[in-house]
Structure 1
Amino acid sequence: MTRTALIVRGGWDGHMPVETTDSFVPFLEEHGFTVRIEESNAIYADAEVMAGIDLIVQVVTMSTIEKEPLAGLIAAVRAGTGMVGWHGGIADSYRDSADYLQLIGGQFAHHASVRPPEEATGEQSDNYEDYTVNITELGRSHPLTEGIDDFDLTTEQYWVLSDDYNEVLATTTQAKRDWDAWDRPVTFPAVWTRHWGEGRIVVSTPGHRLEITQVPAVRTIIERGMLWAARAER
């Protein structure tokens, strides 16, 4: 039986929500999903539609969510709808909602600049650091990351606030530079999964723009995450 994937996208255009989500549509279709695309989270409030959704792919940076759509999103995940997203599209969505933060299990707090504040150019590249994504012991045997070695990226490195209910499959460590306020390196989750009710959630903080979602390791994690999180065929 065909399953349905709902792509909900929007928010800040700098994260390329249209281009990144469009790039995964062929993969979803090849794996038997009918894909529905919405440019607003209002769809979450439609209980009849959400009852038929097997996978949510959300890429909505910042923005806001009303009470009814948020309740619908949480209800759908608790009932078994999977949820996958990357970077700010899932870990920096709906900053004013504590219930959303609890659902996802992690929130973007900062990405460090590669130069002192007085030398910043104002471009996104101010925050493009060279860093390593380290697969955890759990990650080495998990279906999302098994067989993937530690890998290097040059992109935004997310400083994430999180809790220990997450299953952390990969981490990244923010260095301490001369101009930073922190006084030692700090390690954060970079890829995690989370069970909420009957639903599975997958978060990849790498995914700043289209070129990062196309890095082989990142794309593999996201693609595997979609198949792993989606509700089993009914």
Structure 2
Amino acid sequence: MKEKSYAVIGLGQFGMSVAETLAESDCDVLAIDAREENIQEIADKVTYAVRADVREPEVLRTLGVQNVDVAVIAVAENMEASIMATMQAKELGVPYVLAKAMNALHGKILEKIGADRVIYPEQSMGLRVARNLMSGGFLDVFELSTEFSMAEFPVPTEWIGKSLQELQLRESHDINIIAIKVGNNVEINLDPVKPLEADWHLIAIGKNKVLERLN
């Protein structure tokens, strides 16, 4: 079965993690960002990496975004770019457009212009529950697509006291940890050498079948 193809537009920490996770799962990934340093960082990890300003009309058509199955609009901090990218993706007929919003108003605008799914990863890590993954130890899950999800779960007992650098979860479990939740605070600037504590929650992106095994 052919893997789906994805465009990830905006390569901040969220977009970078999504693009890397998809690429590591052998999906075709087109990564787009306005910053050259981000393109250089991910160029060797994805199928294509292109520097472009998505605020320019027709730029996504020029880059072939109409040929992907899923577009992830991860450029939330620039509302103009976020709206333009979402509009262009929908006008090009991309079957599924997932857009990241920075607040409720931004999210409503994205929904109005046709985004199939709007998420708020820094504010709420569980806007919708992926019920097929909720039977075990996950606290919150929402689907990025039919194949990939983002999940929040307590630090497993065997990981307590170990650092992300020690655990090497990308290599050992094929997941990316994108944030750590301590109480009501979500920390996205991760310290890879800090030992994990028992009362922390991890927020990870991975393939559904991989997360199911972890669960």
Q: Does TM-score exceed 0.5, indicating one fold?
A: no
TM class by smaller structure: 0.3 to 0.5
Larger relative contact order (CA 8 Å, sep ≥ 6) = 1
Give TM-score, length-normalised by structure 1: 0.41
Give TM-score, length-normalised by structure 2: 0.43
